[in-house]
Amino acid sequence: MGSQKLLLVTLFLLAFASSAQGYDFFYFVQQWPGSYCNTNNQRCCYPIYGKPPSGFGIHGLWPNYNRPPYGAYPQNCYSNSIPIMSNRQVSGLVPNLQTNWPSWTCPRSDSSNFWQHEWTKHGTCSEAVLSQYDYFRVSLQFKQSTNILQCLITAGILPNGRYYTLASVTAAIEKCIRHTIYVKCNIDKWGHDQLYEVYTCINKSGTMLIDCPVLPTPTCLSFWIRFPSF
């Protein structure tokens, strides 16, 4: 009886350990710099290599669970990978990363701290599937294949400081990329909800967009959300 119990406990622990390590899909998160930069107490600086072209920029590619407890996700997983800027393959992506994955924090930087942070916090948890180089290469590919700003402009939703309904913003992007998405809001200086980030979802192997299996808690609480200029 005692050894049976021990076996059960061992099996349970093994099942828990394997589920804790895995992930089910990715959020691919893009940010609108206008909303990152105009929120309360948020100073914001151009990168040292100059102002990138106006548009959404990558925030990160985040492995995620589609199982309880919802809202939890793996982070800072064990890795013996080298610093990203010492990886010659990743260095080859730098011009593309500078344009599409800029960091807006102050003091001005070359953005590589942001890329390193995203790799360490999120990328290390999908390393069995996407190597360090693939993590950045695949992110850049999805950035190119989901032109969120163009999707919105096509639907008449422009970054001009005006208000649009959350439903129209969501519908415009979903129609354009043909998959469900999530819009995250933050609060502007006047206390209004504004379009901050767009989460698209990618399958576990990092090969294609999918409908989001689970969405984060709603953050756009007003009917109208602002799309600030940048």
Active-site annotation holder among 117, 122, 192, 197: 122
Give the Cα separation of 24 and 17 in Å (integer).
15
Return the amino acid letter for 172.
A
User: Which residue's CB is nearer to ligand 5GP, number 36 or number 164?
Assistant: 36
> Do 52 and 219 form a contact (C-beta atoms < 8 A)?
no
AA identity, residue 49: Y
Question: What are the φ and ψ backbone dihedral angles of 210, each rounded to 5 degrees?
Answer: -135, 165
| In the complex, least distance from residue 110 CB atom to ligand 5GP, rounded to whole angstroms | 11
Please state the φ and ψ torsions of residue 134, each to the nearest 5 degrees: -65, -35
- Smaller CB distance to ligand 5GP: residue 161 or 216? 216
According to CB under 6 A, which residues from 69 to 98 bind ligand 5GP?
73
**Site track 111-130 with ligand 5GP (rule: CB under 6 A), x = hit:** ---x--x---xx--------
Single residue of 104, 164, 182, 227 touching ligand 5GP by CB under 6 A: 104
174 is catalytic: no
Q: Are 9 and 70 in contact (CB under 8 A)?
A: no
Please choose, out of 13-21, 54-62, 133-141, 163-171, the segment that lies near ligand 5GP by the rule CB under 6 A: 54-62
Residues contacting residue 116 through CB under 8 Å, at least 6 positions apart = 83, 84, 85
CA distance 62 to 28: 6
Helices 112-121 and 132-145: angle between axes, nearest 10 degrees: 110
Q: State yes or no: residue 38 binds ligand 5GP (CB under 6 A).
A: no
Q: Give the nearer residue to ligand 5GP in terms of CB position, either 126 or 146.
A: 126
Active site residue 197: no
List active site positions.
Answer: 59, 118, 122
Binding site for ligand 5GP (CB under 6 A): 27, 31, 36, 59-60, 62, 64, 73, 103-105, 114, 117, 121-122, 216
